[in-house]
Amino acid sequence: MIDARRLRLLLELSRRGTITAVADALAYTPSAVSQQLAALEREAGVPLLERSGRRVALTPAGTVLARYAQSVLAVLEEASAALAATRDRLTGPLRIGAFPTAARAILPSALIALGRDHPALELMVTELDPVAVPDALRTGALDVALTFTYDYVPTQPDPALDAEPLLTEAVYLATDGPARVSIGDFRDAPWIAGSPGTLCHTMLVRACQASGFTPRIRHYADDFATVLALVAAGQGVSLVPQLGASDAPHGVTLTALTACRHTQIAYRKGTRHHPAVSAFAETTRERARGLPERAATREDLDGNLPVMGTRRLQGGGPY
């Protein structure tokens, strides 16, 4: 009989390529991972691994088993969800991931409602960038997450995960002067971007490249309040999603682009109908229903990323 826990190790090895990387991701020691994979080979009765320097490659048999491992693990998740549904109430930990603006604008009211309706559910929140969400979900560090994608930053579907749409926001060009037609008008301006490696950084660079230039980044900041404060101080221009622009300083001009940010609820395959995950998804959807949808107030203007509407903010408030 093949041990499902060892199948997870094989699946992670197929993604990561080294024993050390698997050990780091799953909080094992490298020697423990090697021992478990050796035991899996004995259970399978055929060689599953072959070493190539420091990396470990899967044999054809290992590749076949890793492909089946994904389906097996999803079915086990479904079984666990079905068992949880037989209990009288929701109990135990629910590990939730969220990016900063969602953690501020969506999660607090959802957590209050979940805590009221399911007092035995232990709600645990971790703030993280969407690029870290897939790993955290696959390894079980998270059970469910609020994540996002941007136009101009396509992502490949992860066979281990499922996601459902929650909210679509406009993305704004934030400047401290009069509005212009498109971000191409700021090709010579300094830019304020998120840290390299974050999705917000990638979106800003690609949006500028779509307008025919590579941005000259002067400042790096991951908190949108900081980004907008730097814009207001004349330190550069930036791109800010709608939820991140709710407290823009006096005098900042926000020009809505056709590009959008799409927030999703993500979870492992097989867990959508787990009562805790379902309760989180339904409650979060209710709390997000009143948040602003994509601004679409007039016809697109000229430019690779045309504006859709402009407002000169004279203070804070939802936008």
| Superfamily of segment(s) 169-260+294-312 | Periplasmic binding protein-like II (3.40.190.10)
- The ranges of the chain annotated as CATH 1.10.10.10 are 4-84
**Each residue's pLDDT tens digit, 166-213:** 999 999 999 997 766 689 999 999 999 999 999 999 999 999 999 999
Q: Which residue, 267, 273, 276, 266, is CA-closest to 78?
A: 273
**Please, are residues 317 and 254 in contact by the beta-carbon 8 Å criterion?**
no
Give the SS3 label for residue 126. Answer: strand
Q: Does residue 294 carry a pLDDT above 50?
A: no
Q: Does residue 161 carry a pLDDT above 90?
A: yes
State which CATH number among 3.20.20.70, 1.10.420.10, 1.20.58.710, 3.40.190.10 fits the domain covering 92-167+263-288. Answer: 3.40.190.10
4-84: which CATH topology?
Answer: Arc Repressor Mutant, subunit A (1.10.10)
How much is the pTM? 0.82
**Each residue's pLDDT tens digit, 235-254:** 999 999 999 998 889 889 99
Give the SS3 label for residue 310. Answer: strand
